[in-house]
Amino acid sequence: MATTDLARRVYNHAWKLDPIVRSLLDTDFYKLLMLQMIWGLYPKVDATFSLINRKHTVRLADQIDEGELRAQLDHARTLRMSKKEMIWLAGNTFYGSTQIFAPEFLAWLADFRLPDYELVRRDGQFELTFHGPWMLTTMWEIPALAIINELRSRAALKDLGRFELDVLYARAKAKMWSKVERLKRLPDLSISDFGTRRRHSFLWQRWCVEALKEGIGTAFTGTSNVLLAMDTDLEALGTNAHELPMVLAALATTESQLRAAPYAVLEDWRTYYGGNLLIVLPDAFGTTAFLRDAPDWVADWTGFRPDSAPPIEGGEKIIEWWQAKGKDPREKLLIFSDGLDVDSIEETYRHFRGRVRMAFGWGTNLTNDFEGCSPVPTTGLDAISLVCKVSEANGRPAVKLSDNPNKATGTPAEIARYLKLFGDADMVRLGVRV
């Protein structure tokens, strides 16, 4: 594949609309895996997703033109799966299985379209929400985040000249390649691209993926971006996300159902998937609470993805739990993916090497690290913590507690109710940069 001249591509804007999302497969693989389960088990559940900007000092509505945002969102709603994409989904091997997606699900997916949205400007921020059936609104999360992040990047670049853009991307490429050279020194590393949601742009994400593919070879195990996996002949990687326990918890009508929600999700997941897809995401309501009440059969799963606790601290806690359950951690897998940079990847790798199987999902600091690269002073290229979380299910408020209370979402009253039930053991407030 020919390398795109990124500076020329950014500089030459002669078209009316340059679509940011050009395919429904330009999303994370875990969205399709979760979608199949939601379609199969929860087709009548409604869910609302809401944009949350954790970096309150960044006034998105002052940086991004509302008309441009609406045009990009409207364009995404026109997309349908192409014949080529459907053939690839039906015939490709994912996690060793060629039948991971049921024919009936694929037949439904062939006619899928994103539902409508609501967009309001308030106090320098965009209030962007998606209401409707869960099996429709869930698919807005990734394209909505990608659109807003790339529009913010475009706004920061629009006044740069051709040579300033050349310098910017030359510096960003050199910065990225220096990371590749450090990763090459780690034997038996396993790392993948998790950077779709907060990428600088689609073209930059593709450049980073192709650089990793060439630079570290088999240590680069794939990408969470389904379109890039298809186009670059890489593995599509991903399992599940916080929205599953958040929705089931919101639907709970008793305290016992609420306590059981994180494990009911896993039982649902197991009915659809097995093997390396049996990965536990334990921190939706606190990892300590999850491990305290987890049924013994959870220890039989392939591994865990500690998400919001510091990677070494979170990993040690899970290893200790496995050992208490009589499991050998060397036969288990830890997937680290929260706010990783090369320093934390190296530190975590060296700490756990030989004690547990490891994999790293590298996100924002892979696909949106432009700090110090611009020849013109700007903060518009600094990545921010922008998320799109489920906020309601069947009209009931949804909550995420997290091991880091600064990542909690939900109304204050509901967060307090969940904390009373699950407790706040080992939760520590940490700064959230990305």
**pLDDT value of residue 261:** 98
**pLDDT value of residue 249:** 98
Kindly report the pTM of this predicted structure. 0.96
Q: What does the H/E/C string look like for the chain?
A: CCCCCHHHHHHCCCCCCCCCCCCCCCCEHHHHHHHHHHHHHCCCCEEEEEEEECCCCCCHHHHCCHHHHHHHHHHHHCCCCCHHHHHHHHHCCECCECCCCCHHHHHHHCCCCCCCCEEEEECCEEEEEECCEHHHHHHHHHHHHHHHHHHHHHHHHCCCCHHHHHHHHHHHHHHHHHHHHHHCCCCCCCEEECCCCCCCCHHHHHHHHHHHHHHHHHHEEEECEHHHHHHHCCCECCCCCCHHHHHHHHHCCCHHHHHHHHHHHHHHHHHHCCHHHCEECCCCCCHHHHHHHCCHHHHHCCEECCCCCCHHHHHHHHHHHHHHCCCCHHHCEEEECCCCCHHHHHHHHHHHCCCCEEEEEECHHHHCCCCCCCCCCCCCCCCCCEEEEEEEECCEECCECCCCHHHCECCHHHHHHHHHHHCCCCCCCCCCCC
Mean pLDDT of 187-208: 97
Tell me the per-residue pLDDT of 190-199, one tens digit each, with 9 for 90 and over: 999 999 999 9
Confidence grade of residue 432 (pLDDT, cut at 50, 70, 90) = confident
High-pLDDT (> 70) share of the chain, %: 99
Structure tokens at 314: 């979170």
| Rg of the chain on CA atoms, in Å | 21
Confidence grade of residue 182 (pLDDT, cut at 50, 70, 90) = very high
Tell me the per-residue pLDDT of 122-162, one tens digit each, with 9 for 90 and over: 999 999 999 999 999 999 999 999 999 999 999 999 999 99
The answer to whether 212 and 190 have CB atoms below 8 angstroms apart is: no
Confidence grade of residue 14 (pLDDT, cut at 50, 70, 90) = low
Tell me the per-residue pLDDT of 53-90, one tens digit each, with 9 for 90 and over: 999 999 999 999 999 999 999 999 999 999 999 999 99
Residue 301 has pLDDT above 80, yes or no: yes
- Mean pLDDT estimate for the chain: 96
Residue 1 has pLDDT above 70, yes or no: no
Residue 348 has pLDDT above 80, yes or no: yes
Mean pLDDT of 327-354: 97
